[in-house]
Every structure is written in C-alpha cells, then in structure tokens.
Amino acid sequence: MDLNTARMKTLSIILAGGRGSRLKQLTDNRSKPAVPIAGKYKIIDFPLSNCINSSMRRIAVLTQYRSHTLNQHIQRGWNFLRSDFNEFIELWPAQQQTGGDWYRGTADAVYQNLSMINGLESEYILILAGDHVYKQDYSIMLQEHIESGADVTVACIEVPLHEADQFGVMHIDDEDNIIAFEEKPSNPPTMPGKPDVSLASMGIYIFNTKFLSENLNLDAHDDDSSHDFGKDLIPLFIGRCKIKAHHFSKSVVANSNYPDKPYWRDVGTLTAYWEANMDLTRLVPELDLYDEEWPIRTAQYQRPAAKFNYNYEERIGTALNSVVSAGCIVSGSTVEQSILFNNVRVNSYSHVNKSVILPRCDIGRHCRLNKVVVDSDCHIPEGTVIGEDPVADAARFYRNSDGITLVTQGMIEALSE
C-alpha cells in the first residue's frame, strides 16, 4: 500500500478528556488540552496541526472533563476540512455507549467508541495525547509501521536517566522490537551503549485496526485491568505480537537551530508549563513557531495589533525579550522576559518579569509581578506585588516549590471577602 492511500485509511484519535490536575487551578474550568500556551494557541493545537501537516485528515477528538471551551475552540478554529474528500475533525464526547461508566482509562476511551471506529472502515489507528507540545510528521511513523509489518508501533524518545521514572520505559533489541516495557520504573533501564539515557514512550501509538479492536474487547472484560494503554495493553503485547519502537528522531520536525535536540514536552505541571512558555522568550527558542513549512494552526479572531504607550522618564511602554500577542496594550509599563497572551493590558508604572499572562487580563498600575502565571480574565488590583515575598504569595495564591505563583480571579476576589 502506498503512503497516500495509507494516510486516507488511517483514523487519528486524540485523547483530550483529561483534567490535568497537576496544573492546579488552571484546569478548574477547562480540560488540560484547552489550556492556552505560547501566546495565542491551545495545547491541543499541536497534535491537531501535526495531523493536518502530516496529511492525516480523518481525526476524532475524544472529550470528557469540562470540555466546553475545548469544543468551542475546535468548532470555531478547526472546521475547514472537506467532508466530500472524506476529511473531518469530529468531537466524540463521552456518551457511556458501552454501559454506565465514563472513560475509565485511555484504552477504555477508545473501546467505548469502537462502534464509530469500525463504521469508518479504517485500516490503521493513530492514538495521540491531546496535551503534549511537539512537532512530528506522523506519516513517517505510519510508513515505518507498514513496512515493518508490525501490529503495534510505539513512538519513543530518549530521556535522561534521572527523568525516566516519570515515563513508560522500553527495552528494545537491535531491530527496534520492544522486548520489555515498564511503566514509571523506580530503577529505569538504560539504552545499550548509553548508560545515562533511557528510551521512553511518548504515548503515541499506531495499531492495525483489527488487532486493536480485538484486544480492546478483551481488555474491557478484564476486571484486573485499569484499561490504560501504557499500564495494561502495551506490556501485555510484549512477546505476544509484533510490537516495534519508532524513534522520534526519525519523524521530528526539528528547529533548524537545534537539529540534534528533538523538542517534546509534557506540560503537565505548573513548572513545566511555565518553562515551556519561558523558552519562547529566548533569542532562539527550542520550539520553532516561525516555521512556515510546518505551521501551528489555531482559532483566529479579529484583533488589533499590540500597542505600546508613553515615553516619559518613569512611564515608558516597553517589552524586552518578550512575546506580546495581538490586542495587547502595554501602557507606560515594562514587560520583561514574559508572554502576554491576546488582549492583555498592563497599566502604567507596572513591571512584569518572567511571567505568563493569559488572555484578557488587566494588570493595574504600580504592580510588580515576578515568576507569575496569571489565569485568563484576571484583574490584578493596583499596587499588587507578587513574586517577592514567598510567605505572602502562598497565603494569597498558589505557590509551588519552584517559586512559581499561580493567580486566578477567584483567588483575587477571595482577598476582599
């Protein structure tokens, strides 16, 4: 089968139903894939863009937890495909199709939609997480899967040994067959010849559809299973079928300035989220968003250009080493090494440093913010200081062990009660 035909016979399933509780209050009212990132995007824009750029345009997005903003984003920004060409992006909410349970795990989420999957008559299923930031050409992985004759192919990335206990870690032989798999091992195995590196699963899988359907049915009736691909199905397949590892380095869409440094981030913690955004303020970020050959798409709205006001001695509208999005007004204030999402206003005499300010926020006059993540629609009162007194920050807001403070409008309103 040629690659173009294989792409048309592949169904991409994006698992986007998770809460992402490690992001704390950022996911109180939205699912993790709907969290804003990189100035104008949402996290789910990355796997969706990868699918479109890989010419794999039959996509189902599985949703569950507080999915309204995610549904709205996809409907408004991702409805451009042609159904008469058999292209689509469909939202598949949890519907309890197989009983009274909501999605019990990643494998169960797919199992509960088997009737719709089988109705599409696909030959291959690409399983993706909706909450990772990276650029990858899935068609290269698909071609390798077909040529190898595998039942399952697992995308993998090399990670430092000291971080490997956070991932599912694989043993492979010389031909990239997976011969063992351990989920978040306390003593991670290393790669042959690389004692400081482990091979980790990225949570990206390609299955032959018939094989996946048969095994999901078996797993659904296993009372001892947690119905998760990483914890249950992938380890079960070892030694029972042909399961191959696909090295991310073969299909990564690399930043030309960092060709040997594949970029893939699970932004599942507040620190990881802050760091991923801060990387974009560097002179040459590890994540290249300016690559016209691999654009990251999103919902587009009509907004004016960013604006900078005043040029007095102590009242200069300035942004240094920062990302300032459309609709922002920096009025007589200083923004330094920060990201302002759309429609943010920073008022006079304020200083914002190393901070992530989400859409539609208003920073009052004479404020000082340092290492702060400000949630959408916050109104920071005049004279507020955050990021200088750890005790005061922890008493008013959420402050993690890395010194990053998260602020929501609810926290601000609680201060006046």
Binding residues for alpha-D-glucose 1-phosphate, by number, are 103, 168, 183-184, 201
CB 8 within 8 A of CB 82: no
Tell me how crowded residue 77 is: count the other CB atoms within 10 A of its CB.
18
Token code pair at residue 257: 């300035």
Residues in the chain: 417
Distance, CA of 1 to CA of 142 (rounded, Å): 11
Distance, CA of 203 to CA of 26 (rounded, Å): 23
CB 295 within 8 A of CB 279: no
Token code pair at residue 383: 């004279």
Token code pair at residue 232: 């249950």
CA nearest 36: which of 380, 387, 360, 402?
Answer: 360
**DSSP letters spanning 107-135:** HHHHHTTHHHHHHTT-SEEEEEESSEEE-
List residues forming the annotated binding site.
103, 168, 183-184, 201
Residues 6+ apart with CB under 8 A from 353: 336, 337, 338, 368, 369, 370, 371, 387
